[in-house]
Chain A
Amino acid sequence: MKLNELTAHEIGELIKKGEVSSEEVTKSVFKRIEKVEKTINSFVTLIKDEALKQARLVDEKIRKKEKISPLAGVPIAIKDNMCIDGVLTTCSSKILENFKSPYDATVIKRLKENDLVFIGKTNMDEFAMGSSTENSAFKITHNPWNLETIPGGSSGGSAAAIASDEAILALGSDTGGSIRQPASLCGVVGLKPTYGRVSRYGLVAFASSLDQIGPLTKDIRDCALLMNLISGYDERDSTSCDYPVPDYTKSLINDIKEVRIGVPKEYFVKGMDEEVEKSVKDAIRLLEKLGAKIEEISLPHTEYAVAVYYLLATAEASSNLARYEGVKYGRRSQVAGHRSLIEMYEETRGEGFGDEVKRRIMLGTYALSAGYYDAYYLKAQKVRTLVKEDIDKAFEKCDCLITPTSPTPSFKIGEKIDDPLKMYLSDIFTISTNLAGIPGISIPCGFTKADLPIGLQILTKPFAEETILRVAHTYEQHTDWHKRKPRI
Chain B
Amino acid sequence: MGYEAIIGLEVHVQLKTKSKIFCSCSTEFGALPNSQVCPVCLGLPGVLPVLNKTALEYAIKAALALDCRIAKESIFARKNYFYPDLPKSYQISQYEEPLSSKGFVDIITDGKLKKIRITRVHLEEDAGKLLHEEVKDSTLIDFNRCGVPLIEIVTEPDIKSPREAREFLAILKSILQYIGVSDCNMEEGSLRCDANISVRPSKEETGKRGNGETGKELGVKVEIKNMNSFKAVEKALEYEMRRQIKALEEGKRIVQETRLWDENKEITISMRTKEEAHDYRYFPEPDLVLMEIDREWTERIRKSLPELPEARKARFSRDYKIPDYDAGILTSSKELADYYEECIEAARRSPVADRRSPVAGRKFNKEIANWIMSELLRELKEGNIGIEECKARPQALAEMMTLIDKGILSRKMAKEVFVEMFETGEKASWIIKKRSLVQISDEEALTKIVDKILKENPRVVEDYKKGKEKALGYLVGQVMKETKGRANPQIVNKLLKEEL
Contacts and interface: CB of A to CB of B under 8 A. Distances in A.
Nearest to B143: A328
Contacts of A370: 279, 281
> Max chain A CB contacts within 10 Å: which of B43, B84, B288?
B84
A292 to B, nearest CB: 36
A238 B287 contact: yes
B106 to A, nearest CB: 36
Given A238-B50, A238-B289, A103 B44 contact: yes
B473 interface: no
B283 A341 contact: no
Interface string A4-32: 00000000000000000000000000000
B89 A323 contact: yes
B386 interface: no
Contacts of B51: 238
> Max chain B CB contacts within 10 Å: which of A96, A209, A323, A369?
A323
Contacts of B46: 81-83, 89, 101, 105, 201-205
A195 to B, nearest CB: 11
A202 B88 CA distance: 15
Contacts of A238: 48-51, 287-289
Given A208-B287, A238-B287, A328-B87, A96 B82 contact: no
A114 B90 CA distance: 36
A328 to B, nearest CB: 6
A238 B44 CA distance: 17
Taking residues whose C-beta sits less than 8 angstroms from the other chain, chain B's interface range is 20 to 34
Contacts of B90: 319, 322
A203 B39 CA distance: 13
Contact of A322 (B45, B47, B80, B287): B80
Nearest to B279: A370
A209 B43 contact: no
A208 B286 contact: yes
Nearest to B83: A341
A456 interface: no
A350 interface: no
A201 B48 contact: yes
B84 A368 contact: no
B495 interface: no
Contacts of B289: 238-239
A41 to B, nearest CB: 23
B42 interface: yes
Interface string B105-147: 0000000000000000000000000000000000001000000
Interface string A312-323: 000110110011
A364 B91 CA distance: 18
A268 interface: no
A365 B45 contact: no
Contacts of A103: 39, 44
Contact of A368 (B47, B80, B87): B80
B82 A368 contact: no
Interface in B274-306: 279, 281-283, 286-289
Interface in A90-124: 91, 96, 99, 101-103, 105
B192 interface: no
B66 to A, nearest CB: 27
Contacts of B49: 238
B45 A101 contact: yes
Contact of A235 (B50, B89, B287): B50
A61 interface: no
B147 to A, nearest CB: 14
Query: Is chain A's binding surface mostly helix, strand, loop or mixed?
Result: loop
Given A102-B39, A236-B50, A368-B80, A323 B287 contact: no
A234 to B, nearest CB: 9
Contacts of A105: 46
Interface in A225-284: 235-239
B33 to A, nearest CB: 14
Contact of B48 (A91, A200, A341): A200
A345 interface: yes
Contacts of A207: 286
B427 interface: no
Contacts of B334: none
A121 B89 CA distance: 27
> Which 9 pairs show the lowest CB-CB distances between chains A and B?
A322-B89, A208-B286, A368-B281, A209-B286, A204-B45, A202-B46, A204-B46, A370-B279, A83-B46
Interface of B: 39, 42-51, 78, 80, 82, 84, 87-90, 141, 279, 281-283, 286-289
22 contacts: A89-B45, A96-B45, A101-B44, A101-B45, A201-B48, A204-B45, A205-B46, A205-B287, A207-B286, A319-B80, A319-B90, A323-B43, A327-B84, A328-B42, A328-B141, A341-B84, A365-B281, A368-B282, A369-B279, A369-B281, A370-B281, A373-B281
Given A237-B50, A319-B78, 11 more contacts: A99-B45, A102-B39, A201-B46, A202-B46, A203-B46, A236-B50, A238-B287, A319-B80, A323-B88, A325-B89, A328-B42
